[in-house]
Structure 1
Amino acid sequence: MANSPIVATSVVQHQDVEPMPGMIIKDNMDIDADNLASKPGQFSDCCNFCQVTQGCVAYAWNDYQGGTCWLKSANGPIRNNNGVKIGFLNSGSSDYTLKKSYEGNNFFDAFDFWTNGDPTHGFVDYVDRPTAERTGLISIINGKVKISADSDSQIPHGKRGRPSVRVHSKDSYNEGLFLFDIDHMPTGPGTWPAYWLVGDNWPNNGEADILEGVGGDNFNHFALHTKNGCRMPEQDQNLFTGKWATGKNGRPATNCYVYEPAQWANQGCSISSPDGFFGDEFNSGQGGVFAFEWDRSSYMRTWIFKRNQIPSDILQSNPNPSNWGKPISYFKLGENCTPNHFNAMKIIINLTFCGDWAGQVYPGGMSACIDKVRNNPEAYKNAYWLINYVKVFDH
């Protein structure tokens, strides 16, 4: 926001203009976007000014010179700023409509609880729903869904591992826009949390990892895992803000085939986010939204929005990816990777420990990881999800 007013020659106050339905208002935040104009007035005046100013989509107000409306050309990025109040007009039409919302008291009714052994060989005991409810591993707190691992008990020898939860959606999907709004993701030594999509008969019907990493990471790992015949163009790096991960041959990991010999075991085609989008650093800002768009014939791409940067169209449940700029990850679908690599995929949310990835990179290796997880329950007080919703939109 500018420190002095801009002369607003093109703004005319129309007292008969009503605030738009669905307008979003936030306190103690500011919008770092160009000022189209400024206008003396109170916050209640700002919406009217914005509606009659060409190009205005949002506004900020502070008490400068008794009260000033700053009319904005964009709805972000957003930052904290005490004493400033912001508002957003409806963000325009979206061709997405809400298909399914997983949230609140009915959240777990839409999921099956996995109780088999961990396919990634983690030191974990996935429990059923009655056990999770009885032991407090799942709960609803003020409308938010909490999914935890046990943080009270040492694990005796002979047990599968630390009790935790893995859920699979009852519904399956072949495309769509998936929004995952969380306040907190699990953290702790040897943790391996993930939010992902997967088809049956792995890897023949594909896997898309949207949120994944291991304890101590501060960046997110995106990946596709497939049968043979799916490879990403390396030059697509200019289509996203993350970066290709590196295979064991030192080259970008652009082959999605899980048994590609030039890459690490089951690495798939893999992209790393910038720092700050995973783990404790992400949690410290009250989390945010992972937005994954799957256009079956064209691409899979993901954005991550921290809590104070969530676009107004998402806040209004009217998501419009054309407003969001360049994604953090982008995987092209087409001749390079035909759409039939991904079919009838279900949403999975889980937390395991050690295993094929977290155990291999843990200081001291797998045995040290298991020893830590087995004997130190207090280290897992923050090993929980706090979920506002999962929403799925389609055309």
Structure 2
Amino acid sequence: MTGLDVEVVIERGGFRLDVALATSRREVIAVMGPSGAGKSTLLAAIAGLVRPDSGHVRVREVEVSGQVQVTPAKRGVVLLGQEPRLFPHMDARTNVAFGLRARGVDRAAARERADEWLLRVGLGGVGQLRPAVLSGGQQQRVALARALATEPAALLLDEPLTSLDPGTADGIRVVLGEQLAAADTTTIIVTHDVVDAAALASRLLIIEDGRIAQDAAVREVFRAPASPFAATVAGVNRVVGTARAGVWAGGDPVVHIAAGDAASRFALSHEGAPVAAVFAPSAVRLTRADEPWAPTRGSAQPGEWTTHVERLEQTPSGVRVHTRAPSVAADLTPDAVAALSLRPGTPVRLVVAGADVRVHAAE
């Protein structure tokens, strides 16, 4: 059975969201995209908080938006954002039981099920405590228990871990993974954290400028990103050029990048077509170029070219050096950056081994 069937067009102040999405009943989907791409607007449309200009939303094959409009409370959809939004005057047990009571469950049964859910999210014994004495992570767990206790047809999570410290977020991520695996619900997680996508979802949607730029299995998006943003998410370089004699060619001046055997065979079968070369920043060997500097011309070996540093970016493990022609990132240690005296404008030579390069078709 279909979990969600969504085709919505929303236009607001010059921005247009135009998205079509269908899910299976127990599927977990991650949604990523730049700020302002339309991710939260999509969730709001599914939840009934924003009315689309056209299209429809169907939940388990029942239309809740389109020819008919069903109120948010009756859609079988729960939206949980960054803020837990617990009732401050209610204890944790009563907060979790609130949704059940609203659906007609009697008081005693609702309180019993609330205690069961608090136990399932790791909060057994805190049912009598009010939100004010709970930590941020505990409050978010209560909110998750409240959301899942009603057994929604669809659970929409809008960056629920963003405001939490990494340790707390990891703990809730584990709870989410356990509970979503057992829940009979469709889950859509909007996130900026690649760990959420990798750990929780089987499918990843990339939304850019109000449209779906890529919709594939999480691993496929990471292996063959279809846009610069998707490549950033996957943590790889993605440079688009043309297949020429089994190697990638592109840039101005022209640079050639060799690929592994399988990728070369792919490139040969796509001669003259747009292709994307994908490789990790850690696979790029960077040295200073000899002076006087000039960009590489066609005589260079495939996988070697000269360019210049565009900018330096600190990372948790060192320094990412961004270069031009083509735009490529290389990961170095701080010591290596200092030894090479790298700064914007420094001429550098890049080398990428063919075995580290994948090639796939580019739109």
**Alignment TM-score, normalising by the size of structure 2:** 0.27
Q: Answer with 1 or 2: which has the greater Rg.
A: 2
Q: Hey, which of these two has a bigger chunk of helix by percent?
A: 2
